Amino acid sequence: MSQPGWYPDPYGTGGLRWWDGRTWTERLNPESDRPPRPRPARRERPPAREDAGTPYAAQHAQHPQHTQHPQQASWDHAPSFQGLDVKVRGLHLYADEQGVAYGNASLTWPRVEWVAYWAAERPAGSGHLAGTQWIFQAGRFPFRGGPRVEVVVEPDAVPGRDGEPEHVWGRLIQLCQEHAEQRLVAELAGRVRAGDSVDVAQGLTVHPGGVRGNRVSLSWSSISGAVVDRGRVWIRQASSSSPILYVPQQNPNAVLIPALLAQLNG
């Protein structure tokens, strides 16, 4: 990703973050302050079939998609996120509008029930220097036993000139946001509107009256929104400039909280 511009935020705020041509900056452009973007027209394709003996990536091996830079976001034209077809740590990573596969693990986006992604600092160890790890996970419940796809991208994990690790990680997130997260947020919001209390991110309960977690309970009128910062999803109280409640970003579906609260508290 070499062209500076506004791109969907890989840190899960639900808005846009400025890419300066080398790294993600602190500049944000929240989607909630903009009119909805039109969805691009799609050519209908039959749904992919998951098969334990035929990984999702292998089903498409004869028709690889070359990775390209995502188009700069515009409110007049939705960005088109091209698929991924790269090697990460020697294993084939494939993702497109139908699903994601890495090695022998695969899931189609309609079957994904939880997502998580975050950046972590890797300490120096045997054979490697200190650096950043970019982690992406998508799976089905139960969280600690259900099927999942997990990709850990490190500076030396993706060979070739198109192997910027943060670019690969960001592309995975973009595909996930478009083809899984919108559905997950809508499903969770629908359950809450129907009167259910929903456990989100293993630490936050969202219910018709508001949210509660970590011995803190907030009504909808007292919530001003949520932001992702330094590996945590912070919920802000309307009467205070400081966040009052947080959930670790690596928890399942924690990255959905800003969009979910915006939808329920709009």
> Looking at 139, 159, 186, which one is the last position of a domain?
186
- In this structure, are 249 and 118 located in the same domain? no
- In this structure, are 64 and 110 located in the same domain? yes
- In this structure, are 181 and 70 located in the same domain? yes
| Residue numbers of the domain that contains 116 | 5-186
Output the pLDDT for position 5: 66
Output the pLDDT for position 17: 74
Q: pLDDT tens digits for the chain (266 residues)?
A: 556 666 767 766 666 677 777 777 777 765 434 333 333 343 344 344 444 434 454 454 443 333 333 333 332 334 455 789 999 999 999 999 999 999 999 999 999 999 999 988 888 777 777 788 999 999 999 999 999 999 999 887 787 644 578 889 999 999 999 999 999 999 999 999 999 999 999 999 999 999 999 889 999 999 999 988 888 999 999 888 788 899 999 999 999 999 999 999 97
Please name the residues in contact with 215: beta carbons below 8 A apart, sequence gap of 6 or more.
none
Output the pLDDT for position 56: 53
Q: What is the DSSP string of 180-207?
A: IIHHHHHHHHHHHHTT--EEETTTEEEE
For the whole prediction, is pTM greater than 0.95? no
Output the pLDDT for position 70: 35
Number of domains in the chain: 2
- In this structure, are 165 and 212 located in the same domain? no
> Sign of torsion, CA 27 265 207 237?
positive
- In this structure, are 108 and 171 located in the same domain? yes
Q: What is the DSSP string of 58-106?
A: HHTTTS-----PPPPP-SSS------EEEEETTEEEEE-SSEEEETTEE
